[in-house]
Amino acid sequence: MKMIKNALNRFIPERINGQKQIPFKGVDKFKSSGKITNPQIRTCAEYPADGNKIVKNLKDALKKAGLKDGMTISTHHHLRNGDQLTNILFDTIHSMGVKNIRWFPSASFPCHSYLIRYLRDGTIHHIEGSMNGPLGKFTSEGKMKGVGVLRSHGGRYQSIQDGEVQIDIAVIAAPTADPFGNANGVNGKSACGGLGFALADSEYADKVIVVTDNLVPFPCVPWQIQGNNVDYVVQADSLGDPSKIVSGTTEMTKSPDRLLIAEYIAKFMDEVGIVREGFSYQAGAGGTNLAVILYLKEIMKAKGIKARFIRGGSTKYLVELLQEGLTDYILDGQTFDLDAVRSMHDNINHVMTTPFTSYNYHGKGNFASMVDAAILGATEVDINFNANVVSHSDGYLLHGIGGWQNCLYSKCTIIAVPSFRDRIPVILDEVTTLCGPGELIDVIVTERGIAINPKRKDLLNTVKNSSLPIRSIKEIQKEVYEICGGVPAKPNVNKKKVVAVVKWVDGTVMDSIYQVVT
Amino acid sequence: MKMIKNALNRFIPERINGQKQIPFKGVDKFKSSGKITNPQIRTCAEYPADGNKIVKNLKDALKKAGLKDGMTISTHHHLRNGDQLTNILFDTIHSMGVKNIRWFPSASFPCHSYLIRYLRDGTIHHIEGSMNGPLGKFTSEGKMKGVGVLRSHGGRYQSIQDGEVQIDIAVIAAPTADPFGNANGVNGKSACGGLGFALADSEYADKVIVVTDNLVPFPCVPWQIQGNNVDYVVQADSLGDPSKIVSGTTEMTKSPDRLLIAEYIAKFMDEVGIVREGFSYQAGAGGTNLAVILYLKEIMKAKGIKARFIRGGSTKYLVELLQEGLTDYILDGQTFDLDAVRSMHDNINHVMTTPFTSYNYHGKGNFASMVDAAILGATEVDINFNANVVSHSDGYLLHGIGGWQNCLYSKCTIIAVPSFRDRIPVILDEVTTLCGPGELIDVIVTERGIAINPKRKDLLNTVKNSSLPIRSIKEIQKEVYEICGGVPAKPNVNKKKVVAVVKWVDGTVMDSIYQVVT
């Protein structure tokens, strides 16, 4: 594997799974001269005039779609850890004797550890997409046949749109669908909210199969996925476990340290002038982020102001803001609990967004750069404000990128991290895996203080008389190193074996993830 | 101009405006082997990070968009006869000294007769799109520099999608928009309902300019047009005359003959079993069609049944059906009056559709073929059930195709026509311009009787004991010829000069329209 150095001095493979790569050139430095991919022109005459695209089962649909060895099969992750369809899909592919599939999910979850058998037996060649938990561990140990490719939600859209990844067959789990293939996630027993992560798949895959456990007569309204892009519809008894699809486990943090971080963030946002009439921010569904929402809510109420929009992942806490008139809109990429699903169903101001609208870097702009502040997590940060969101300091790949890289384009990107976890410092000299370049990260907030990127002189100036604990990142690092017993150990990895790479939002390669030596 | 004969024995030019043509091959006979057009990949770095794409005026936007001689400029017709923007657009283009524009509207209206000056002086080379009224007359008289190309709504989408027409600059009138370019037609003083006719333009044009007279802060919700496809946003004082945008003139017919036709249609639909629980039909906004709605409403109420969906053009009469629970959905391509605009704004079951969902023949199916019955008008029909919708028997091109050709794919296509107009018979031996092949037209209903296409043996069988006046088309024709004084004169046209052509839904050429000798 020939390695080359990119603009961040990270080594990346020249070729990945046989495909030549473009090394990261710097933020906003790479301009593609290519064209958007162009699918074959279809004709209505090839499809049933009565709009009934139902075929008898998934196997039949895969056969009709021409499934064969080496194809790329995509799925979405809106069913989260309750997804059973993807496992059934690969049982079916395996039963058909088909091998070497490139699985292209928008993300995978612990429930997909079931698929390790198919990674072992060659049914699946490799995964391109988030590998949360067990599949990441499997990959880290060098057991996957191909090299994993990690992309942000926006990067996934970009890669499909640009033809970098040609999906042969998209299998779209649809909590509600009609026989024509119109589909949504807001109705049915497997309701999950929006289906935005499947949009690009539906638009650009060669064949599109919609699988539903709630078939309704045409028209299925709203049609988050358009039947005009769908080839076959399959009825299934169940797509998964509703209690895990909408987990209801989005719980506020009770940790005093994390509550303190949340409070610092809300106060900081207020002090630097972000919290003003008509502002916007991106809230995640993590415990610290939920606490930020509540602190901001208090400030907004006290000041008598209203946000113009809040970007979800949405939960009941966001829905309450909308209901209480504290924001005009929720612009929502995924819906984490039942309150949020209901809100998206009932409230026209709770708007579904897609990776196209929100995150696609290869569009005529996107929403991410228009957000006043984004509050994000990280597994590690470094003294140059670079951050890692996919691997741990022991080298294990255990998380996906999600919309994280895309959100870095917000006007003020705030990373919320505890200063150490399990006595392992979070602020390093250099992150294990570089996922986000420091030049896009404005503020790092820990329970020990708030570090502002020296590039943001405007922010530093604004808070110079603040009572908040504004400190240099090195000062916080030093204190943490002393608590944790010095400079942490480097991960024990085999630099000769790249198990996965991290792409940037423009399709270039930002960093490599190496085999962990166990 | 070399002419070739197509599958319907109609002569068509081998080349139109320099472009080689494919003659009509028969219904469902032509399969394109091409690929969908693929625009250049864009990059967020080329667009303002804060999402503010406002430029100071239309001239500035056109300059930035690189306007030059010979370009293709598109507009939509949702502002109907109240549109002032298009006239201002060409004033601007003229003032910039740019020539030979191909104007590609989704339709033109009498208000656009203003543009004849620019057709004369060479600013506009020719029009591709419906030419209702004065522009049609101008074209018929051989005064347009190029050859007009008429397409159905679906054919227009198809031609853009397939790259047959490459739009250089789309200028989209938006009754509401935000600085990012998200736009809708349901809010603002120029509200017109949906903006579906501009969808393809926004997706595939090289440059997209949104012009609005109601700028709102991001996000403009709903975003019928997505800002992610938009290059520039222009603020204007006014897009047009609201009283003509939403005319309020969709009046029920009072003509006894037309009321009789409407009654026949409703009764026929009932007798052949179309009017049943969960049925669907396409209603137009013409006077006869509105009367059909009322007759059907009575039948539905009497039978205690409900439609699954009704396709608009929508008016207050359709809105009432929705409000009274007589249909689950209105699937609406354009909104003709204020009641309909309000309904689309307020009622989630009044759903905007686009030429992509409804009519695009080069998709994986579309809605048109799933509709139980479509009731359409025509200027002429012939004894082989062919129909004409664009020209009069004197040869003048005076109407656009609209969704008419696309709707012919419904399960039962009913043409509603008076048997004569101004003492000119409507049922001919051969239509002046062939727009719809007889094999797709199932029933022709006149005030003198109902003619069923002999191909529809099932329908003929079902009504054999009916009290309705089921007659052969030739019998009705004969009667009308006697009333009107014999076989009507052929139009006086110059067969050496084709002034426009009619395309079929698949992009092939169906017929030619010739210069009228005056």
CB A52 within 8 A of CB A179: yes
Q: Is B79 on the interface with A (CB under 8 A)?
A: no
- Mean of the pLDDT values across residues B234-262? 88
Shortest distance between the Cα of A402 and any Cα of chain B, in A, equals 19
Amino acid present at A406: N
Query: Searching chain A, which residue's CA lies closest to the CA of residue B411?
Result: A50
A221 contacts B351? CB cut-off 8 A: yes
DSSP state letter for B454: T
Relative to beta strand B350-352, strand B327-335 is: parallel
Mutate to test the interface with A, among B27, B28, B43, B361 (most CBs of A within 10 A): B43
B49 vs A contacts (CB less than 8 Å): 365, 369-370, 409
Per-residue pLDDT of chain A (518 residues; tens, 9 = 90+): 899 999 999 999 999 999 999 999 999 999 999 999 999 999 999 999 999 999 999 999 999 999 999 999 999 999 999 999 999 999 999 999 999 999 999 999 999 999 999 999 999 999 999 988 999 999 999 999 999 999 999 999 999 999 999 999 999 999 999 999 999 999 999 999 999 999 999 999 999 999 999 999 999 999 999 999 999 999 999 999 988 988 755 678 889 999 999 999 999 999 999 999 999 999 877 889 899 999 999 999 999 999 999 998 899 999 999 999 999 999 999 999 999 999 999 999 999 999 999 999 999 999 999 999 999 999 999 999 999 999 999 999 999 999 999 999 999 999 999 999 999 999 999 999 999 999 999 999 999 999 999 999 999 999 999 999 999 999 999 999 999 999 999 999 999 999 999 999 999 999 999 999 98
Write out the two tokens for A119: 């990674």
The Cα-based distances of A38 to A203, B40, B366 in angstroms read: 10, 11, 20
Query: Searching chain A, which residue's CA lies closest to the CA of residue B30?
Result: A43
The per-residue pLDDT for A181 is 98
B363 contacts A218? CB cut-off 8 A: no
B329 vs A contacts (CB less than 8 Å): 219, 221
A366 contacts B44? CB cut-off 8 A: yes
Q: Is the pLDDT of residue B293 over 60?
A: yes
Nearest to residue A73, comparing CAs of A42, A134, A115, A121? A115
A43 contacts B31? CB cut-off 8 A: yes
A44 contacts B230? CB cut-off 8 A: no
A363 contacts B42? CB cut-off 8 A: yes
B50 contacts A370? CB cut-off 8 A: yes
Q: Of all residues in chain B, what percent carry a pLDDT higher than 70?
A: 99
**Residue by residue, what is the 3-state secondary structure of B269-326?**
HHHCCCCCCCCEEECCCCHHHHHHHHHHHHHHHHHCCCEEEEEEEECHHHHHHHHCCC
A49 contacts B364? CB cut-off 8 A: no
Query: Searching chain B, which residue's CA lies closest to the CA of residue A372?
Result: B50
Query: Searching chain B, which residue's CA lies closest to the CA of residue A160?
Result: B41
A356 contacts B49? CB cut-off 8 A: no
B38 contacts A35? CB cut-off 8 A: yes
Query: Searching chain A, which residue's CA lies closest to the CA of residue B357?
Result: A228
Largest alpha-carbon pair distance within chain B?
Answer: 72
A348 vs B contacts (CB less than 8 Å): 221-222, 348
CATH second-level architecture of A256-493? 3-Layer(aba) Sandwich (3.40)
Helix runs in B23-128, H state only? 58-64, 85-95, 116-120
Nearest to residue A360, comparing CAs of A158, A58, A95, A94? A158
Shortest distance between the Cα of B426 and any Cα of chain A, in A, equals 30
Q: Is B230 on the interface with A (CB under 8 A)?
A: yes
Shortest distance between the Cα of A205 and any Cα of chain B, in A, equals 12
Shortest distance between the Cα of B420 and any Cα of chain A, in A, equals 34
Shortest distance between the Cα of A502 and any Cα of chain B, in A, equals 20
- Mean of the pLDDT values across residues B309-316? 92
Question: CA A444 to CA A416: how far, in whole Å?
Answer: 6
Question: CA A432 to CA A491: how far, in whole Å?
Answer: 8
Q: Is the pLDDT of residue B251 over 80?
A: no
Choose the closest CB to B228 out of A46, A278, A366: A366
A38 contacts B38? CB cut-off 8 A: yes
Q: Tell me the pTM.
A: 0.97
User: pLDDT averaged over chain B?
Assistant: 96
CB within 8 Å of chain B, chain A residues 259-318: 278, 308-309
Shortest distance between the Cα of A390 and any Cα of chain B, in A, equals 25
Query: Searching chain B, which residue's CA lies closest to the CA of residue A506?
Result: B43
Could you tell me the pLDDT band of residue B252, with boundaries at 50, 70 and 90? confident
Question: CA B367 to CA B407: how far, in whole Å?
Answer: 9
B37 vs A contacts (CB less than 8 Å): 38
Nearest to residue A509, comparing CAs of A146, A21, A15, A140? A21
B362 contacts A41? CB cut-off 8 A: yes
Shortest distance between the Cα of A457 and any Cα of chain B, in A, equals 19
The per-residue pLDDT for A283 is 80
Sorted by sequence, the CB contacts under 8 Å of residue B443 that are 6+ apart come out as B268, B412, B413, B414, B415, B450, B451, B452, B453, B456, B459
Query: Searching chain A, which residue's CA lies closest to the CA of residue B36?
Result: A38
Nearest to residue B99, comparing CAs of B64, B135, B68? B68
User: What is the count of residue pairs from A and B with beta carbons less than 8 Å apart?
Assistant: 182
Q: Is B348 on the interface with A (CB under 8 A)?
A: yes
CB within 8 Å of chain B, chain A residues 32-71: 32-51, 53
The per-residue pLDDT for B518 is 86
Q: Is A105 on the interface with B (CB under 8 A)?
A: no
A48 contacts B365? CB cut-off 8 A: yes
Mutate to test the interface with B, among A25, A31, A41 (most CBs of B within 10 A): A41
CATH class of B56-128+165-245: alpha beta
A217 vs B contacts (CB less than 8 Å): 278, 308
Nearest to residue A123, comparing CAs of A70, A54, A198? A70
The per-residue pLDDT for A250 is 66
Tell me the pLDDT tens digit for each residue of B33-86.
999 999 999 999 999 999 999 999 999 999 999 999 999 999 999 999 999 999
Shortest distance between the Cα of B224 and any Cα of chain A, in A, equals 12
B370 contacts A218? CB cut-off 8 A: yes
Q: Is the pLDDT of residue B249 over 60?
A: no
B367 contacts A51? CB cut-off 8 A: yes
Tell me the pLDDT tens digit for each residue of A302-321.
999 999 999 988 999 999 99
Q: Is A222 on the interface with B (CB under 8 A)?
A: yes
Write out the two tokens for A288: 């610290």
The neighbour count for residue B473, using CB atoms within 10 Å, is 22
CB A152 within 8 A of CB A406: yes
Question: CA A437 to CA A26: how far, in whole Å?
Answer: 9
CB within 8 Å of chain B, chain A residues 116-155: none
Domain A51-245 has CATH 3.40.1080.10: yes
- Mean of the pLDDT values across residues B232-239? 98
B364 contacts A231? CB cut-off 8 A: yes
Strand partners, B351: B331
Could you tell me the pLDDT band of residue B250, with boundaries at 50, 70 and 90? low
| Phi, then psi, of B436 in degrees rounded to 5 | -135, 125
Write out the two tokens for A195: 């289906």
The per-residue pLDDT for A248 is 56
B44 contacts A229? CB cut-off 8 A: no
A217 contacts B308? CB cut-off 8 A: yes
Query: Searching chain B, which residue's CA lies closest to the CA of residue A31?
Result: B43
The neighbour count for residue B471, using CB atoms within 10 Å, is 16
- Domains B56-128+165-245 and B256-493 agree in fold: yes
For B8-12, B191-195, B198-202, B286-290, which range has the lowest pLDDT when averaged over its residues?
B286-290
A48 contacts B181? CB cut-off 8 A: no
The per-residue pLDDT for A247 is 72
What are the sequence ranges of the domains in chain B? 56-128+165-245, 256-493
